[in-house]
Structure 1
Amino acid sequence: MNFETTGWRRKALEGDVLDETVVMQRRKRRRIIIGIVAAAIIAIAAILAFTGGGEPAAAPGAGEGAALPAVTVVVPGSQQVARVISATGTLAARRDLPVGVAGEGGEVSRVLVEPGQWVEAGQVLAVIDRSVQSQEAQRLAAQIQVARADAELAQSELDRAQALVSRGFVSKADVDRKTATRDAANARVRVAQAQLGETRARIGRLDVRAPAAGLVLDRMVEPGQVVGAGSGALFRIAQGGQMEVLAQLPQGDLTRIKPGMPATVTPVGTSESIQGSVWQVSPVIDPQSRQGEARIAVPYSPALRPGGFASADIVAGSTQAPLLPESAVLNDARGSFVYIVGADDVVQRRPVKVGSVIDKGVVITEGLNGTERVVYSAGAFLNPGDKIKPQRAASR
Structure 2
Amino acid sequence: MTTATRDHRPTALVFPHPLRRHGGRLLGSLSLALALAACGDKAASPVAQQGPAQVGVITLQTQQQQLDATLPGRTRASLTAEVRPQVSGIVQQRLFTEGALVRKGQALYQIDDRALRAAEASAEAALARAEASARTLEATARRNAELLKIDAISHQAHDESQAAAAQARADMGVARANLETARINLRYSRIEAPIAGRISLSSVTPGALVTANQTNALTTIVQMDPMYVDFTQSSNEIVQLRRDWDAGRYQKLDGNQARVRIRLDDGSDYAHEGRLQFAGMIVNDSTGTVTLRAVVPNPEGVLMPGMYVQALLPTGLASDALLIPQQAVNRDLTGRANVLVVNADDVVEKRPVELARALGSRWLLDSGLVAGERLVMDGFQRVKPGDKVSPQPVVLKTSKGEAGPPQAPEDGLRPRNGQGVNIATPQAGAPR
Q: Do the two structures share a fold, i.e. TM-score over 0.5?
A: yes
Cα displacement (A) at 1:201: 0.8
Give the distance between the partners of 2:199 and 2:305, measured in 1 at CA.
12
Letter in 2 for 1:281: A
Shift of the 241–318 alpha-carbon distance from structure 1 to 2, 3 Å rule, reads: same
1:122 aligns with 105
**Residue in structure 2 matched with residue 81 of structure 1 by the alignment:** 65
Partner of 1:229: helix, strand, or coil? coil
Question: Would you say the 8 A contact 1:87–1:248 is kept in 2?
Answer: yes
CA–CA separation in structure 1 for the residues paired with 2:282 and 2:61? 39
- Code of the aligned partner of 1:307: G
Contact 1:340 1:374 in 2 (8 A): yes
- Secondary structure in structure 2 of the residue aligned to 1:369: coil
Go from structure 1 to structure 2 and tell me whether the alpha carbon gap of 1:181 and 1:309 turns closer, same or farther (over 3 Å shift): closer
| C-alpha distance after superposition, 1:28-59 (max 9, x if no partner) | x979xx9xx99xx8xx99xx89x997754898
Question: Secondary structure at the residue paired with 1:195?
Answer: helix
Q: Secondary structure at the match of 2:105?
A: coil
Counterparts of 1:221 and 1:386, CA distance in 2 = 80
Residue deviations 1:164-212 (CA, integer Å, cap 9, x gap): x9xxxxx999999999999988776655443222101122234444333
- Is 1:317 paired with 2:316? yes
Cα deviation, residue 80, structure 1: 1.0
- What is aligned with 1:5? none
What is the rounded CA distance, in whole Å, between the counterparts of 1:250 and 1:188 in structure 2? 65
Give the C-alpha shift of residue 390 in structure 1. Answer: 1.4
Q: Answer whether contact 2:201 2:219 (CA < 8 A) is retained.
A: yes
Aligned counterpart, 2:75 = 91
Q: Report deviation, 1:216.
A: 3.4
The residue number in structure 1 matching 2:249 is none
Is contact 2:262-2:309 (8 Å) kept? yes
SS at match of 2:225: coil
- 8 Å Cα contact 2:86-2:211 kept in structure 1: no
With over 3 angstroms needed to count, the CA separation of the structure-2 counterparts of 1:368 and 1:210, relative to structure 1, is farther
The correspondence for 1:271, drawn from 263, 268, 273, is 268
TM-score under structure 2 normalisation? Answer: 0.63
* Aligned-pair CA distance for 1:347: 3.9
**Change in 2 beyond 3 A, CA 1:53/1:364:** closer
Identity of aligned residues (%): 23
Secondary structure of the corresponding residue to residue 213 of structure 2 = coil
Structure 1 position 261 matched with structure 2 position 258: yes
TM-aligned CA deviation for residue 375 of structure 1: 1.3
* Cα deviations by residue, 1:117-137 (Å, 9 ceiling, x for unpaired): 333333333333333112211
Distance, in Å, in 2 between the alignment partners of 1:118 and 1:127 is 19
Match of 1:290 among 288, 291, 297: 288
CA distance in 1, matches of 2:173, 2:285: 63
Equivalent position amino acid for 1:357 in 2:
L
Q: TM-score, normalised by structure 1?
A: 0.68
Q: Tell me the CA shift for residue 116 of structure 1.
A: 4.3
Q: Deviations over 1:212-264 (max 9, x none)?
A: 33343565444415243241444433346332232232223334493432111
SS in 2 for 1:376: strand
For residues 102-155 of structure 1, the C-alpha deviation after alignment (integer angstroms, 9 at most, x for no partner) is 624333333444564333333333333333112211333345556667788x59
Residue 107 of structure 1 aligns to a residue whose secondary structure is strand
Separation in 2 of the partners of 1:188 and 1:197? 14
Q: How does 1:35-114 map to 2 (within 5 A)?
A: 55-56=42-43, 66-93=50-77, 95-101=78-84, 103-113=86-96
1:279 is paired with a residue of what secondary structure? strand
Instruction: Kindly indicate whether residue 9 of structure 2 is the aligned counterpart of residue 15 of structure 1.
Output: yes
Equivalent residue letter for 1:302: G
Q: State the Cα distance separating 1:298 from its structure 2 match.
A: 1.4
Which residue pairs with 2:186 in the alignment? 203
Q: Structure 2 counterpart of 1:88, which letter?
A: P
Structure 1: which amino acid aligns with 2:108?
L
- Cα 1:370–1:106 change in 2 (3 A) is farther
Cα offset, 1:379, TM superposition: 3.9
CA distance in 2 between counterparts of 1:137 and 1:248 reads 54
Q: Which moved more, 1:329-338 or 1:95-104?
A: 329-338
In structure 2, relative to structure 1, the CA distance for the partners of 1:186 and 1:84 (3 Å cut) is closer
Partner of 2:195: 212
Separation in 1 of the partners of 2:153 and 2:202? 69
Q: Cα distance, 1:82 vs. partner?
A: 0.2
Match of 2:245 in 1: none
Superposed CA deviations along residues 342-387 of structure 1, whole A, max 9, x for unmatched, are: 344114153441524259x543344433332111344466544444
Contact 1:158 1:178 survives alignment (8 Å):
no
5+ residue gaps, structure 1: 1-11, 166-170
Alignment of 1:119-268 (within 5 A): 119-144=102-127, 191-216=174-199, 219-223=202-206, 224-239=208-223, 241-255=225-239, 256=241, 258-268=255-265
Per-residue deviation at 1:88?
A: 1.5
Partner of 2:419: none
Structure whose residues are more often helix by fraction? 1
Cα distance, 1:208–1:180 mapped onto 2, change above 3 Å: same
Pick one of 279, 282, 294 that aligns with 1:281: 279
Q: Is the 8 A contact 2:202 2:218 kept in 1?
A: yes
CA contact (8 A) 2:81 2:194 kept: no
Bigger CA drift: 95-104 or 72-81? 95-104
How far apart in 1 are the matches of 2:82 and 2:44?
Answer: 92
Q: Does structure 2 retain, via aligned residues, the 8 Å contact 1:346–1:387?
A: yes
User: Which ranges of structure 2 fall in alignment gaps of 5 or more residues?
Assistant: 1-5, 147-151, 243-254, 397-404, 406-432
CA 356–213 in structure 1, closer or farther in 2 if over 3 Å, else same: farther
In structure 1, what residue type is equivalent to 2:258? M
Aligned to 2:357: 355
Please name the residue that 1:369 is paired with. 370
